Chain A
Amino acid sequence: MSKETRSQKSYTWQRFLEGWSLFYENLVGRIGLILLLVFGLMAVCSYIPPLIDPMYHPMTGVDPDVFRSTPPSAAHWLGTDNIGRDLLSQLLTGARIAFLVGISAAFMSIVFGTLIGMIAGYAGRLTDSLLMRFADMIMVMPSLLVVLLLSSLFGQLNIWIIVLLIALFRWPGISRVIRAQTLSLKERPFIDTARVAGASNLRIIFRHILPNVLPMALLYMTFRVTSAIIVEAALAFLGFGDPNTVSWGMMLQWVWKTGHMFQAPYWLLPPGICISLITLAFYMIGRAMEEVLDPRLRKEEQKV
C-alpha cells in the first residue's frame, strides 16, 4: 500500500515538474516569478526595521531629529516623510499589504466566481439565467464609484472590508469563464457515468466538475490579484483607504496631501514603481501559466 501511494505521489510530482519546466522555459514567466520573489522578500523583510529601532516603525515610528521630509541618508536609506517616518520601512510594509490585499481579494472572488459559475452552468435554465443576469449587473457597475460611495457613507473602511468589497465586485468575469467550462464538462460522458454510479448533484459538482475547472480558476486568480492591488491603491490614493495600514497607495496619498508631489521624488517614485511592478509580475505569471494550461498557446517547438 505504501509503495502505491508513493508512486501516486511521485506521479503528481512528475506532472507538476512537467508544468514547471514549461513555465520556466517561458521568459515572461521567469521574469514575473523573479519580480514576485523580490517583493516576497520585501514583505518578509518588513518585520526587520521596527526590531532594529522603534523609530523605524512604518506607522508610529518618528525620527526625533527629523522635522521635515529628508532625502535618502545613511539612517534612512530612502529618506523620510514630512513627520520623520522612515520611507523604506513603509515601502516594505506596503509589499506585505499588497500581497495580503491582492491574494485574499483574488482568492475570495475566485471562490465566489467558481461556485456561482459552476452552479449556473450545471443547473442551467432559470437558475443560470438569473445568476448570469445578476453577474452582468455587477460587471457593468463602476466598482470604484460604488466603493467610494460606501466609504463616504460609512466613514473609513477597514482593510478587510475593502478586500471583501473588491472580491464582491470582481467575481462575475470568473463566473462566466467557469460557467462556460462547466457547460462543456457536464455534457461529457463521465458526468453521466457518475450519475449512473449514484452520485448526487453536489458530489458531481464538487468531485467531478470542480477538479476540472480548478486550473482555470487558479489562472484567473493571478489576473485578479493584479486588479485587486490596483483597486486598493486607487482607493487609498483617493483617501478612502484604511488609515491604520501603510499601503503603497496610502504612501502616494501622503505625498499628495502634504504637497510633496514634485518636491520629493524619493518619496513619490518607489511606491509608484512598486505598484506597477507587482501588478506586472502577477500578470506575467498569469500569462505564463496560461501557456502551461492551454497547449494551443504554446510555441511550435514546445508542443508536447
Chain B
Amino acid sequence: MVLLSVSNLKKHFPVKKGIFSSTTQLVKAVDGVSFQLRQGETLGLVGESGCGKTTVGRAILHLIEPTSGEILFKGENVSRLNTRERRELRSSMQIIFQDPFTSLNPRMTVGNIIAEPLKNQKKLSRSERKDRVASLMQKVGLRPEHLGRYPHEFSGGQRQRIGIARSLALNPLVIVCDEPVSALDVSIQAQVINLLVELQEEMRISFLFIAHDLGVVEHISDRVAVMYLGRIVEMAPYEEIYENPLHPYTRALLSAAPIPDPDLKRERILLPGDVPSPINPPSGCGFRTRCPQVKPECRDLEMQLANVESDHWVACPFC
C-alpha cells in the first residue's frame, strides 16, 4: 500500500540582493522529485551534500513550504490542509534529525522532551503520560530512571535514542530520518541502525532514510533513490542498485564507497569537475557536465525517470 506519494516536488529558494531585496536568482534545491513510499518499507535517499535530500525531507513534513508539487499522504494532499489538520497529520509523520546535540532542547528534561508530542496531540492524564514515556524509553534502550536528566548528560548515541523515542511517541506511520547516524561513531551507528530496523519490524513504520553513506543505506533500505542536483537520477530495490547500477552517477557514487577489504580492488570512476551550482544548473541533463558517457543530445534532454526493469527507474535514456 502506498502511504506517501510525492510528485514533481520543487523547492526554489530566492537569493535576495540589494536594498529592496529584489529576488534576482533562485537556488533550485529540489527541482522535480517524485517517489512513492509504501507501508513498512524503507526508502534510502542518497546523494552528496547539497543535492537537496534534506530539503525533500523537510518539505514532506511541511517544515518548509514547497514551491510546487504534490505530497499525498494516504491519498490526501498535505499542502491543502489547514493548520489544525496539519497538526493532526503530524502525529503520523515524524522526523529524526542528524545532529543529536542541537535537536534536543537543552533546557528540557528528557522526560519532557519525549512527552512533548503526547502533550500536544493527545489528552492523557499525567500518570498515563508518564507510563508511556517510560515504555518508550525502554523501547529505545534508555533507562526510564533517567527521565529527569537533561540532554547534555547523555552521549551522542543515547541522545539519538531520545530523539527516536520522541518520534515514536505518537505511533507514526512515516518517519523521515535525516542522516540520523552520520554524527555518530561507527560503533554507535550500528546500534542505532539496528534499533531502527527492530522498531520498523515491530511497529510497521515506513522510513524515508536520508543519508550520504551508501554502506548505511545498504543495510537498512528496501529501495534506494539516488539524487543529484535536486533530482532523482536512479531509483531501484537495493540489490538492483548495488549489483546493477545503470546511471553513470550511481556507478561513480558506488565506486567511491570504501570497501572494508584491503585485497579487494575495483575500478574507481573519478568524475571531473564540481557539482554545478543549483542557481544556474546546466540545461537538459544536470549531470552532463561531469558524465563520462556524455552525448551531444544530453543538452536538450528532459531528466525524466523511466522504468527500465520492474521497479528500476533511471533518468537517462542511454543507460
Chain A residues with a Cβ under 8 A of chain B: 1, 4-5, 7-8, 11, 188-190, 192-200, 203, 207-208, 211-212
Contact among A4, A5, A198, A212 with B105 in the assembled complex (CB-CB below 8 Å): A212
Contact for A192 among B63, B93, B166, B169, CB less than 8 A: B63
- Which residues of B lie under 8 Å from residue A208 when comparing CB positions? 105, 108
In whole angstroms, what is the CA distance A211 to B105 when docked? 9
Partner of B163 from the list A1, A7, A193 (CB cut-off 8 Å) is: A193
Is the pair B97, A189 in contact by a Cβ cutoff of 8 Å?
yes
- Of the 9-residue stretches B39-47, B143-151, B277-285, B297-305, which lies at the interface with chain A? B143-151
Inter-subunit contact A198/B87 (CB<8 Å) = yes
Q: B106: which of A7, A207, A212 is its contact (CB, 8 Å)?
A: A212
Closest B residue, CB atoms, query A7: B148
Decide if B104 is an interface residue (CB 8 Å cutoff): yes
**B107 & A211 in contact (Cβ 8 Å cutoff):** yes
Q: Residue on A with the closest CB to B118?
A: A197
User: A193 contacts B97, CB within 8 Å?
Assistant: yes
Number of interface residues of B (CB under 8 A): 34
Q: B residues near A, CB below 8 A? A: 58, 61, 63, 87, 90-91, 93-95, 97-99, 102-109, 116-117, 120-121, 130, 145, 147-150, 163, 166-167, 169
B116 and A11 contact, CB distance less than 8 A: no
B150 in complex: contacting residue of A11, A190, A193, CB < 8 Å: A11
For A194, the chain B residues whose CB sits under 8 A away are 105, 116
**Are B121 and A193 neighbours in the complex by a CB distance under 8 Å?**
no
Q: Distance in Å from the Cβ of B69 to the closest Cβ of chain A?
A: 20
Enumerate chain B residues within 8 angstroms of A196, measured Cβ to Cβ.
61, 63, 90, 93-95, 167
Dominant SS among interface residues on chain A: helix
25 contacts between A and B (CB under 8 A): A1-B130, A4-B147, A4-B148, A8-B148, A11-B148, A190-B103, A190-B104, A190-B105, A193-B97, A193-B166, A194-B105, A195-B63, A196-B61, A196-B93, A196-B95, A196-B167, A197-B117, A197-B166, A198-B90, A198-B120, A200-B87, A203-B120, A207-B108, A212-B105, A212-B106
B99 touches A189 (CB 8 A): yes
Distance to closest chain A CB from B123 (angstroms): 13
Which one, A8, A198, A199, A211, contacts B91 given CB within 8 A?
A198
Q: Report yes or no: B102 in contact with A190, Cβ–Cβ below 8 A.
A: yes
B103 touches A189 (CB 8 A): yes
Q: Contact partner of B148 among A5, A190, A197, A212, CB < 8 A?
A: A5
Number of residue pairs spanning A and B whose beta carbons lie under 8 angstroms apart: 72
Instruction: Return chain B residues, CB-CB under 8 Å to A197.
Output: 90, 94, 116-117, 120-121, 166, 169
Q: How far is the CB of A5 from chain B (nearest CB, A)?
A: 7
- Complex contact A192–B148 (CB within 8 A): no
Shortest A186–chain B CB gap in Å is: 12
Whether the Cβ atoms of A11 and B149 lie closer than 8 Å is yes
Complex Cα spacing A197 to B63, Å:
11
User: Measured between alpha carbons, how far is A88 from B154 in the docked complex, in Å?
Assistant: 56
Contact status A193-B103, CB under 8 Å: yes
Interchain nearest-CB distance for B13 vs A (Å): 14
B91–A193 CB distance below 8 A: no
Residues on A with C-beta less than 8 A from B95 are 192-193, 196
B14 to chain A, nearest CB (A): 14
* Cα distance, A5 to B111, chains bound together (Å): 11
Interchain CA distance A195-B167 in the complex, whole Å = 12
Neighbouring B residues of A188 by C-beta, 8 Å = 102-103
> Across the interface, which residues of B come within 8 angstroms of A8, CB to CB?
109, 148-149
A192 to B149 Cα, complex, angstroms = 22
- Min CB–CB distance B100 → chain A (angstroms): 9
B150 CB contacts on chain A under 8 angstroms = 11
Contact across chains for B109 and A198 when beta carbons are under 8 A apart: no
